Chain A
Amino acid sequence: MFKFLYHYSSLRNFYFFSEKLLPFLLITFVCLVTYSIYGALISAPADYQQGDSFRIIYVHVPSAWMSLLIYMVMGLSSVSVLVWKIKLAEITLSAVAPIGAVFTLIALVTGSIWGKPMWGTWWEWDARLTSELVLLFLYLGVIALLNAIDDRRTGARSASILCLIGIVNIPIVHYSVEWWNTLHQGPTVSKFSSPSIHIDMLIPLLTMTVAFMLYCLIISLYRIRTMILVYDKDSQWVKNVITDNREQI
């Protein structure tokens, strides 16, 4: 396991490994997102209380889950930056932070759009909404720190510390609906033993979530690969990639 991780934490090995992985991920994503949109808008029945407005769940919930998942990936990268000083972790931290911020913004905007017809308001300062907004500010803070410091390694270390401090917000976002009386509804899917959502509605939600995960992975890999080339620009293998002399690698 450690041998595998050590092998792929090398920038060069990761670059060529991800090159092989990307076409497969792209094809799977296109198939899955097409099926999920069909399931979300056509095959899933309307909710008995919320009517068709509940279909917003298929973009809102996967976006919210991605905002949490990406922050956890950043947390792991931060530990790797601070403890093992792994270059790939520094690059991953910078590459995924904007993606996480985008999905947090999508979750907030679609949640607000869903809130208007259901709650009668675009925004409410309840625990779930506020903690998700704090998450957006944490993402923006990490991005700002990464860009504010000229020395890349110092910037990555500072951003890692902020990221690890902010990780305390993740359980707050997740459990806010249980710990406090909130306008936001309680968990419906995360109770895997007995989800309070019908299977016909649940399947498109799960496939859409996997599609969003694949999308995040694809965009992350593109960004990481570009950053690797810039980071290692003076090495021979990057020169070979740029001049397309792959046979020399």
Chain B
Amino acid sequence: MTEFLSMGGYAGYVWSSYTITFGIMTLLYVHTKRKEGKYLRWLRRHLASLEK
């Protein structure tokens, strides 16, 4: 396990690359879903204002 984590002495480079890549991809997914929710709420309010 220690050998796997040390990545032959390149642990800092390998793990930071994977963390940055998948971290950014996760953040982009979360941001997209939050933005979707925000716009859906805005559209509901827009629709409600039209009905009044």
Contacts and interface: CB of A to CB of B under 8 A. Distances in A.
Contacts of A105: 24
A41 B21 CA distance: 14
Contact of A116 (B13, B24, B44): B13
Contacts of A238: 43
Contact of B29 (A114, A219, A230): A219
A52 B43 CA distance: 50
Given A113-B16, A226-B39, A238-B43, A53 B24 contact: no
Interface residues of A, number: 34
A52 B44 contact: no
A52 B28 contact: no
Contacts of B13: 53, 56, 113-114, 116-117
Chain A interface SS verdict (over half): helix
A53 B32 contact: no
A110 B8 contact: no
Contact of B14 (A55, A222, A223, A243): A55
Given A52-B8, A230-B43, A106 B14 contact: no
A225 B43 CA distance: 13
Contacts of B14: 52-53, 55-56
B46 A110 contact: no
Contact of B21 (A52, A63, A116, A229): A63
B39 A229 contact: yes
A99 B32 CA distance: 10
A239 B8 contact: no
A109 B22 CA distance: 13
25 contacts: A52-B7, A52-B8, A52-B14, A53-B13, A56-B14, A56-B17, A59-B17, A59-B18, A59-B22, A102-B24, A102-B28, A106-B24, A110-B21, A113-B16, A114-B13, A215-B25, A219-B28, A222-B36, A225-B36, A226-B35, A226-B39, A238-B43, A242-B40, A242-B43, A243-B47
Interface of A: 41-42, 46, 51-53, 55-56, 59-60, 63, 99, 102, 105-106, 109-110, 113-114, 116-117, 215, 219, 222-223, 225-226, 229-230, 233, 238-239, 242-243
